[in-house]
Amino acid sequence: MNSWTDKLRVVTPYVPGEQPQGNDIVKLNTNENPYPPSPEVKKVIDNLDTDRFAKYPDPTAAELVGELAKYHGVGASNIFVGTGSDDVLSTAFLAFFNSDKEIVFPDVTYSFYPVWAQVYRIPYREIPVDENYCLKVEDYLPDGDSFGGIVIANPNAPTGISMGLSDLEKIIAANDDCVVIVDEAYVDYGGQTALGLLEKYENLVVVRTFSKSRAMAGARIGYAVGGEKVIKELYDVAQSINSYTMTFDSLKIGAASVRDEKYFRDRIEDVVKTREITVRELEKRGFTVLPSSSNFVFARPSDGDAKSVFEKLREKEIYVRYFSKERTKEFLRITIGTDKQMERMFEALDS
Ligand SMILES: *Cc1c(COP(=O)(O)O)cnc(C)c1O
């Protein structure tokens, strides 16, 4: 019997961290920024010409692209923007990974990568990280046959561990026959950026987001930086699906955020300071904490029973993230909040 259900694109979706509502909750589960965005963003919103919503937004996103190009010292033709880096990454998977060869990424990494591979029917292989949760460079050097593509989050999630630039360059240099995507969602908190390698490697694409260090997860802004060829390919694919992804207000507030460099740097510094305190306090309580270059820590309680710590914190309205997969099930991923929020978590842990 033929059924319409045989013709569906059956996929298992990515499950984001829960978004509980309430005033008294401590939300440390989705790596959001505990601080508000730049006050310049509020000024733009307060003065927004809402009549402008009657018209389509600028399909070239020129204002935001222009600010980002200036910020990174590249040309406008080197920047692609999308609705969050999830949109940018998804477009990149669709655009660059169009062969029969396997794309590769680590077994412990952003869990959206295998989901995009599945929905776009891209063959993929997850390469195990080593016993310290680090990527092994040699695993990413092709041994005869080439890869279909490579995706590396640097710093990695949910570990927070960053890879040095020389190791990353070895991987990119050895794979000039496929695109290498470097997802720098957390790089502002202490990683080494691959942007400097773009002049040498036209198969490299660096992806960034406004959701973490720019405190604008709700605005949905992400972008890619790369050579003209890869950026044009991203626009060709994106505009084969939807001509107007970026709303006119998000283009304006995104640009305003980029212009306010001081506020941006100051809030990063605040989070990094709180991270250092958090690591010390967790270690005092017997946790093992992986070295973090991000706005979260990946920590293992001394008995490895992360699940029950997760559940007990949740009862006290403190939300952290727990991943039940084999290699991550003994850890909690804890987003760095304000000092006050972290104190509440420590009080809960002590009781
Ligand atoms: C948060 C995150 C993203 C997605 O961020 P957007 O909100 O879609 O911009 C992408 N990659 C990694 C590794 C992330 O942690």
pLDDT at 144: 85
Whether the CB of 184 sits within 6 Å of ligand 1 = no
Confidence of residue 269 (pLDDT cuts 50, 70, 90): very high
197 pLDDT above the threshold of 90: yes
Report the mean per-residue pLDDT for the chain. Answer: 96
CA distance linking residue 14 with residue 116, whole number of Å = 9
Whether the CB of 26 sits within 6 Å of ligand 1 = no
Largest CA distance in the chain: 65
The minimum-distance atom of ligand 1 relative to the CA of 85 is 9
89 CA distance to ligand 1 middle (Å):
9
Average pLDDT value for residue range 175-193? 97
Give per-residue burial for 166-201: e unless 16+ CB within 10 Å, then b. Answer: ebbbebbebbeebbbbbbbbbbbbbbbbbbebbeeb
Whether the CB of 84 sits within 6 Å of ligand 1 = yes
Residues of the chain with pLDDT > 70, as a percent, come to 100
The minimum-distance atom of ligand 1 relative to the CA of 209 is 9
pLDDT at 119: 96
Q: What digits encode the pLDDT tens for the residues 233-248?
A: 999 999 999 999 999 9
Which tokens in the block code for residue 302? 């001394």
Asked if 66 and 76 touch (Cβ cutoff 8 Å), the reply is yes
Average pLDDT value for residue range 82-103? 98
pLDDT at 20: 87
pLDDT at 250: 97
- pTM for the complete prediction? 0.97
Number of residues assigned to the chain: 351
Confidence of residue 2 (pLDDT cuts 50, 70, 90): confident
17 pLDDT above the threshold of 90: no
Whose CA is closest to 177, among 213, 210, 202?
202
Whether the CB of 157 sits within 6 Å of ligand 1 = yes
Q: What digits encode the pLDDT tens for the residues 131-168?
A: 999 999 999 999 888 999 999 999 999 999 999 999 99
- Mean pLDDT lowest for which of 21-35, 83-97, 111-125? 21-35
What three-state secondary structure class fits 166? helix
H or E segment at 104?
strand 103-106
158 CA distance to ligand 1 middle (Å):
11
- The burial class, CB within 10 Å (0-12 / 13-18 / 19+), for 280 is exposed
